[in-house]
Structure 1
Amino acid sequence: MSTLFSGGTIWTAAGTTDALLVADGVVAAVGAQARVGHADDRVDLGGGFLMPSFGDGHAHPLYGGLESVGPQVRSCGSVDEIVAEVKTYADAHPDQDWIVGASYDGSLVEGGLFDARWLDAAVPDRPVVLRAWDYHTFWVNSVALDRAGITAQTPDPVLGEIPRRADGSVLGTLREWGATDLVAAVMPARDESVRIAALGTAADYYLARGVTWVQDAWVEPDDVDTYIAAAAADALRMRFNLALYADPRHFDTQVTRFADARERVRAAGSPLLSANTVKFFADGVVENETGALLQPYCSGLHSHGMQLWEGDGLARAAQRVDDLGLQIHIHAIGDAAVRQALDAIEHVVRANGPRDRRPVIAHAQLVDDADLGRFAELGVIPNMQPLWAQLDALMTVLTVPRLGAARSEQQYRIRSLEKSGAALAFGSDWPVSSGAPLDGIAVAVSRQTEDGTPPGGWTPQEILPIEAALTAYTAGVAHQAFAESDWGRLIPGASADLVWLDADPTATAAAELPSITVRATYLRGQQVYMREG
Structure 2
Amino acid sequence: MSTFADLILRAKTIHQMSPDAAPATMVAVSDGVIVAVGDDADARDLTGASTRVVDLGDATLTPGLIDGHFHPLHGLSMTAGTDLTSVRSLPELIAALRESPRDAGWVKAWGLDVNAYGGRPVTNEPLIEALGSDVPVWVIMSDAHSAIASPAALAAAGISGPREFTGNAEIVCDADGLPTGHILEFEALSVMDPALPPESVDSRRRRLVKLLSDMAATGLTAGNAMDYNGGVEVMPGFDDHYELPMRVRFAPWCMPGVDADGLAEIVALQQQGGRRWQVDGVKFFMDGTIEGGTAWMEAADSHGECLAPNWPDPQAYRAAVHHLASNGVPTVTHAIGDAAVRHALSTLAGASKVVARHRIEHIEAVPLELVGGFVEHGVVASMQPTHCTHFSRADQSDAWSQRLGPQRSRRAFATRDLREAGALVALGSDWPVAPYDPRPILADAQLRRRAGHPEEDPICPEQALTAQMALEGYTTHSAVAQGNADVAGRIAPGFRADFTAFSVDPLVAAPDELAQAPIAATLVGGEFTHVGDGVG
TM-score (norm 1): 0.91
1:15-50 CA distance string (max 9 Å, x none): 553222223322121123633432223222221111
Q: Which amino acid aligns with 2:442?
A: I
Aligned to 1:314: 317
| Other structure's SS at 1:286 match | coil
| Contact 1:214-1:240 within 8 A present in 2 as well | yes
Amino acid at match of 1:359: H
Structure 1 gaps of 5+ residues are none
Cα deviation, residue 135, structure 1: 0.8
In structure 2, distance between residues paired with 1:406 and 1:157: 33
Do the aligned partners of 1:127 and 1:144 also contact (CA within 8 Å) in 2?
yes
Match of 1:211 among 204, 220, 224: 220
Query: Shift of residue 515 of structure 1?
Result: 1.1
Kept after mapping to 2: 8 A contact 1:106/1:112? no
SS for the counterpart of 1:382 is strand
C-alpha distance in structure 2 between counterparts of 1:405 and 1:117, whole Å: 31
Distance 1:526 1:203 in 2: 15
Distance in 2 separating the partners of 1:291 and 1:12: 39
Pairing 1:128–2:140 present: no
Equivalent position of 2:498 in the other structure: 497
Structure 1 residues 399 and 68: CA distance shift in structure 2, 3 A: closer
> Displacement of 1:199 after TM fit?
0.9
Q: Quote the residue 2:371 is aligned against.
A: 372
- State the Cα RMSD in Å: 2.3
2:236 is aligned to 228
Separation (CA, whole Å) in 2 of partners of 1:53 and 1:187: 37
In 2, the alpha carbon distance for the partners of 1:299 and 1:225 equals: 41
Out of 259, 266, 282, the residue aligned to residue 278 of structure 1 is 282
Amino acid at match of 1:294: E
8 A Cα contact 2:212 2:246, kept in partner: yes
Q: Taking structure 1 as reference, are residues 333 and 251 closer, same or farther at Cα in structure 2, changes over 3 Å only?
A: farther
> Equivalent of 1:10, from 14, 19, 24?
14
| Structure 1 residue 209: Cα displacement | 1.0
Q: Deviations over 1:422-465 (max 9, x none)?
A: 2221111011001111211112112223323565x432332211
Q: Is 1:127–1:142's contact at 8 Å kept on the other side of the alignment?
A: yes
* Residue in structure 2 matching 1:181, options 181, 190, 193: 190
TM-score normalised by length of structure 2: 0.90
Counting only pairs closer than 5 Å after superposition, residues 104-119 of structure 1 correspond to structure 2 as 104-111=112-119, 113-119=121-127
Contact 2:468 2:507 in 1 (8 A): yes
Q: Counterpart of 1:109 in structure 2: which amino acid?
A: Y
- 1:291 touches 1:334 (CA, 8 Å); kept in 2? yes
Residue 309 of structure 1 and its aligned partner are, at CA, apart by 4.4
Asked whether the equivalents of residues 355 and 483 of structure 2 are also in contact (C-alpha less than 8 Å), the reply is no
Which of 171, 174, 181 aligns to 1:172? It is 181
Q: Distance in 2 between matches of 1:384 and 1:362?
A: 6
2:131 partner SS: coil
Alignment deviations for residues 143-200 of structure 1 (CA, whole Å, 9 cap, x no partner): 111122222x424644212333465532111111232122224434322122112211
Specify whether residues 171 and 515 from structure 1 end up closer, same or farther in structure 2 by C-alpha distance, changes over 3 A only. same
Matched, 1:343 2:351: no
Distance 2:182 2:371 in 1: 35
Residue 370 of structure 1: how far off its partner (Å): 2.5
Provide Cα deviations, 1:363-384, integer angstroms capped at 9, x if missing partner: 1112222221111111111111
Distance in 2 between residues matched to 1:337 and 1:258, nearest whole Å:
23
Does structure 1 residue 31 correspond to structure 2 residue 42?
Answer: no
Q: 1:471, CA displacement in angstroms?
A: 1.0
- Residue identity matched to 1:376: V
Aligned AA (2:244): L
1:101 paired to 2:100: no
Corresponding position of 2:400? 399
Q: Say if 2:392 is the partner of 1:389.
A: no
- Residue 331 (structure 1) aligned with residue 338 (structure 2): no
Match of 2:248 in 1: 240
1:121-158 CA-partner distances (Å, limit 9, x unpaired)? 4264442212111110111111111122222x424644
Cross-structure match for 1:509: 510
Q: What CA distance in whole angstroms lies between the structure 1 residues aligned with 2:29 and 2:87? A: 44
* Alignment-derived partner of residue 20 in structure 1: 27
The amino acid of 2:345's aligned partner reads: L
State, as a whole percentage, how many aligned pairs show the same letter: 27
Q: Which of the pair is proportionally richer in helix? A: 1
Could you say if the C-alpha distance between residues 230 and 125 of structure 1 is closer, same or farther in structure 2, counting changes exceeding 3 Å? farther
Alpha-carbon distance, 1:332 to partner: 0.5
SS of residue matched to 2:180: coil
* Counterpart check, 1:256 vs 2:264: yes
More deviation, 59-68/376-385 = 59-68
Indicate if the aligned counterparts of 2:74 and 2:227 stay in contact, CA closer than 8 A: no
Residue in structure 2 matched with residue 304 of structure 1 by the alignment: 307
The one of 125, 131, 151 equivalent to 1:142 is 151
Deviates more, 1:383-392 or 1:431-440: 383-392
**8 Å contact 1:297–1:305 — kept in the other structure?**
no
> Does structure 2 conserve the Cα–Cα contact (< 8 Å) formed by 1:276 and 1:327?
yes
Q: Which moved more, 1:418-427 or 1:184-193?
A: 184-193
Query: Quick one: structure 1 residues 104 and 391, their matched pair in 2 at CA, closer, same or farther if it must change by over 3 Å?
Result: closer
Q: Deviations over 1:306-329 (max 9, x none)?
A: 442423111101011112211100
Structure 2 unaligned segments of length 5 or more: list them: none
AA in 2 matched with 1:179: A
What letter matches 2:460 in structure 1?
T
Query: How far apart, CA to CA, are the structure 1 residues paired with 2:38 and 2:125?
Result: 64
The CA distance in 1 between the partners of 2:245 and 2:355, in whole Å, is: 29
Separation (CA, whole Å) in 2 of partners of 1:489 and 1:89 = 45
- What whole-Å deviation, never above 9, does each CA across 1:467-486 have from its counterpart, x for those lacking one? 11101101211112211222
Instruction: Give the superposition deviation at 1:361.
Output: 0.5
- State yes or no: 1:191 paired with 2:215: no
